[in-house]
Amino acid sequence: MKIRINGADADIRPETEKTVGEILSALEAWLEGTGHRLSGLGIDGKTVAVDSMEVCFGMDIDTVDTLDVYTSSIMELLEECLSHALEAIDIYESADFEEKGLLAVRWHEGPAARLLAEQTPDLSSWITKTFSGEGSGPQALRSMVDERLRELRDPAGELDRLGVLVTEICARLEELPLDIQTGKDAKAAETMGVFSSITEKVFRIFGVLKTGGFPIGEVKVGDVSVTDYINEFHTALQDLLNAYEQQDSVLVGDIAEYEMAPRLRGLHAAVWGAVKGNCQ
């Protein structure tokens, strides 16, 4: 059996594998380390439809002359899944009650849902809740999916636009001790919420850049590698959240003002500076 990957002959010979499914499982395990995934299949010159995949997996390799395997990068597949999610949201909004229930089932069983659950579990949970009639509704979900698509398609632009928000939230973090001391609990809670959202967005864009092949490992924040800096950031962030849950206002204020605000400024500036320099 000849095996081709994206049209090119692959120097792969089956060893203990007896079925097409076993061959594909071995290939998928190998692909996971390359940032790519299986995205299509052809047998003896014919494209295999999605609903025929399971039957083909059980085929004996001795009955197949040529196995064509098609792969896509994780970024490409995520963009496709998010675009599919937008289409599903449009359908959901115009569907009646019974159709909404069927759409929820079809979405849950589809490949887009599986990949999003693996790569973006928070967004996947929002989609599932919305299609089940829970959550904040389809409009809020559409806005969230649109944002994730922008991060995939233009991470540099999203980092640039985020600069103003980072400046604003860092200023609010520095005011957090006073807000707590003066009983402005609602403002303090809002600051924590906005800070968490912005931090998560910076981390997501970092992940997009890393997965997309940007040499993010070479970026430094001061004298520290960006990877080590993020690990330290995570530790400080957990300390902040623990202090906030325990209502330790003094510790919350100190960590927010002297740890999180400068760390967030430093992380955003370093990553954006490296990306901007690479784009010039």
How does pLDDT run across 19-56, given as a tens digit for each residue? 988 888 888 877 877 778 888 899 999 998 877 777 88
> How is residue 24 written in tokens?
């594909």
Report yes or no: 256 and 240 within 8 Å, Cβ to Cβ.
yes
Which pLDDT band holds residue 279 (cuts at 50, 70, 90)? Answer: low
pLDDT greater at residue 175 or residue 13: 175
* Per-residue model confidence as pLDDT tens digits over 104-128: 999 998 889 999 998 899 999 999 9
Cα–Cα distance between 22 and 20 in angstroms, integer?
5
This prediction has a pTM of 0.81
What's the full length of the chain, in residues?
A: 280
Cα–Cα distance between 116 and 124 in angstroms, integer?
6
Give the DSSP H or E segment for 225.
Answer: strand 224-225
The count of other CB atoms within 10 Å of the CB of residue 6 is 13
224 forms beta bridges with 221
What is the average pLDDT across 180-187? 90
pLDDT greater at residue 76 or residue 273: 76
What is the average pLDDT across 127-153? 93
Cα–Cα distance between 168 and 194 in angstroms, integer?
10
Radius of gyration of the chain (CA): 23
pLDDT over 70 percentage in the chain: 98
What is the average pLDDT across 210-224? 79
Residue type at position 27: L
pLDDT greater at residue 143 or residue 220: 143
End-to-end distance of the chain based on CA atoms, in angstroms? Answer: 47
How would you classify residue 115: left for phi > 0, otherwise alpha for psi between -120 and 50, otherwise beta? Answer: alpha
Note the pLDDT of residue 214.
Answer: 78
Enter the CATH code of domain 2-73. Answer: 3.10.20
Task: Quote the mean pLDDT of the chain.
Answer: 88
What is the average pLDDT across 161-170? 94
Which pLDDT band holds residue 277 (cuts at 50, 70, 90)? Answer: low
What is the average pLDDT across 240-258? 89
Cα–Cα distance between 36 and 74 in angstroms, integer?
5
Residue type at position 213: G
> How is residue 2 written in tokens?
């000849």
Which pLDDT band holds residue 278 (cuts at 50, 70, 90)? Answer: low
Q: Is the predicted pLDDT of residue 147 greater than 90, yes or no? A: yes
What is the average pLDDT across 162-184? 92
What is the average pLDDT across 253-272? 90
> How is residue 74 written in tokens?
């994780």
Which pLDDT band holds residue 96 (cuts at 50, 70, 90)? Answer: very high
Q: Is the predicted pLDDT of residue 280 greater than 60, yes or no? A: no
Cα–Cα distance between 27 and 12 in angstroms, integer?
10
Note the pLDDT of residue 130.
Answer: 94
Q: What are phi and psi for residue 139, nearest 5 degrees?
A: -65, -45
**Residues whose CB falls within 8 Å of the CB of residue 64, separated by 6 or more in sequence, listed in order:** 1, 20, 43, 44
Domain limits, the chain: 2-73, 77-152, 154-279
Cα–Cα distance between 25 and 100 in angstroms, integer?
34
DSSP summary character for residue 259: I
Note the pLDDT of residue 181.
Answer: 86
Cα–Cα distance between 203 and 237 in angstroms, integer?
13
